[in-house]
Structure 1
Amino acid sequence: MRLIEGRTEEDFTNMKLALFLLLLTVIVDGELRFLSDMYGSLQSPNFPEPYPQEMELHWNISVPNGFKVKLYFSYFDLEPSYLCEYDFIKVEAEGEVLALFCGREASDTEAVPAQQVITSPKNSLSVLFSSDFSNEERYLGFIAHYSAVDVDECSNRMDEDLLCDHFCHNYIGGYYCSCRYGYLLHSDNRTCRVECSGNVFRERSGVLSSIDFPAPYPKSSNCLYRIELEPGFRIRLQFDPRFDVEDHPDINCPYDYVKIKAGSGELGPFCGAQSPGVIETDSNMVIIFFQSDNSGENLGWRITYTAAGSQCPVPEIPPNAFINPVQSEYYFNDHILFTCEPGYRLLKDGEDLDHYQVLCQSDGLWSRSSPQCQQTDSTRR
């Protein structure tokens, strides 16, 4: 079958039917004869006179890919016999006998073709005519007609190799596939993939998932997602309980899988129906790889990520001082503002200050030590 990438149905609307060659090979006493056309006829030797005894003819009919061969008999008159042991017509294709005929149209034998139409499963079939050494009566033989008929590949849903992922378009002699908006046609000309690399997440929380989750994810795709936060944050991953990635009963994730790289460590591959759950990392950078092959209808995955920074100790509050905000825990990038009670002033390194601020650093330490609150002179008097 010919597949054409990038064509539309309109491109084929005005196309004329190309002339394909149908090769008809007739073997008679070792002689080869060639006829070319998309249709034609076969007949027994000497027709409409009786056919000779003890002879064998073999026709091989072949049409281009995208077509099948249709064969029917308009006249049939052969010697009748039990199971067609004497004279017969045999029609074969792909190593299978499609029909075996003998007898006369006027008889009630089931071996007569009558109005039966024979269609080849693919683009070729063979016809064998054989007569034995004696006929008790005069039999005139047969006339058969053949023609090439177009195959509607888009309606042939039994052949998985011909299935289009999204849209199938049939034309005379072949078909082509196209994809929904946002998808790209793979080099196999039937699978629809997506461009899913280069996404970088820099917010401290977010959600990422396989394309179209929870609908089946695209085939033949290699996806890469990066989470990059400021140094000092640790990334926490939470997989959705709905997790469905194609697996194998004996081999660990040979088809589709999710892998996670955090710092110098690597987790996975993950596949199957069991969610990986919660993954705590010690890194502020995480890379998520997802690969899918060209088969399957699995639903995919979703990850919610959050960030946790390094924890700083709760500072001691100096006498006569206030801190804001007051929290039970402090983490990276948290600020504390020191102020003093009325009648006191902030003093740090011999300098009077209106307020004083410290920052929780990525190493889990405060940026500066706490100040002191000293009573003013007026308060002493």
Structure 2
Amino acid sequence: MARTTSDGLDRNGSPPQTDGHVIDVAHTTRSLQRESPDNPEQQLPLHSKWINESCQAKLSSRKEIAFAELAIRILRIAGWQTGRFIRLTLTLASLSGVPTASNCDATLSSDLVKNGSVSSPGYPDPYPPGSHCRYDFQGRGKERVQVVFNDFLLHQPPESHRDCEGVDALVAYVHIEGRMEKIDSFCGDAMPKPLMSNGARLLLEFRGQHSSSHARGFKATYSFTENFGVLGGGGRQLSEWPCGFAFNSSEATSGYVTSPNFPGLYPRDTECHYFFHGAGTQRVRLRFHYFDVEGVQPCEASSASDYVEFSNFMARDRKYSRYCGQLKEFDIESDRKFFRLTFRSNDRLDGTGFNATYYFLDEEESSPAKPRPTSSARGNAVCWALVLLSIFSLLC
């Protein structure tokens, strides 16, 4: 099935979708004019009218497709710079009329577009059996790739499969220490949570081996972002930090903060700082409504734990222990008007992160805080210890 887009002076247009083998480019231009060297008021044609000229080329590799997209971009830019009207009509169609497994790879670069959408071959129609597509997202510098799913329905046999092995699946990889490492895989009809890369690269691999009449595949929107997907009501991002955010009581006395990419899995090998600045005798209170940070107490590097750290200073504050694991709702409070929260993840496992509300409190507004957190695992250990102690006392 052919897919056609028209682009005149639309600078925000996405590059053509590369789900086929053939590209048709039809040019429609107006004659461009230049001044006569003898008479500045006289306009001479720069070139003759070129109307409805077209060409067709077979694209047999990803490099050729990428080159065609780049050439089209250059033509558009040239048209804008002349101040005249150049219109390009692009048609992409597969030779057989339907998408195939060999022509669905795509390289998506932030140099061309900062956001867009990707989908399985033929979406929303069922994808063809034997589909194998790679979507390579390539950002720059501090950019992270965030993918949010809009629809997800893959073929899955009646019997369950652990880790989506042997069934139609979408697999996500990130770039860690020079290699692409799998971070998650998705199958069936469960909508995946948002994904975020740990750096400027992310790879999605679609394996649609079986398909069915009901398996319409997936659709997702992507963006190259520098804000790490951090939701922070009342805060602002700090350009001098790779991942830093400031919250001032002069701008908002309360708001909310989240870990990167919440409620999706936070990216690996990431460090983010949240700085809270009160005034006068104000203090800062953080109330964590949700907390799931991979790790075990005492959340140190020796246990390969991710963690959240609190401090009344820019340096580490020994008053506060590090926090990790799955914790129930809890509060934590500063001693003075400045407070720092630091989130740190390593390159191994993932969690959903945290969601918290912050408050700047005046001295007279102080009220008892909720108790410090206890994980379910720690509570169970205490319970078993009491049971064993009771049994020991009976035996003695």
Q: Same fold (TM over 0.5)?
A: no
Structure with greater helix percent: 2
Q: Which structure is larger by alpha-carbon Rg, 1 or 2?
A: 1
Structure with greater strand percent: 1
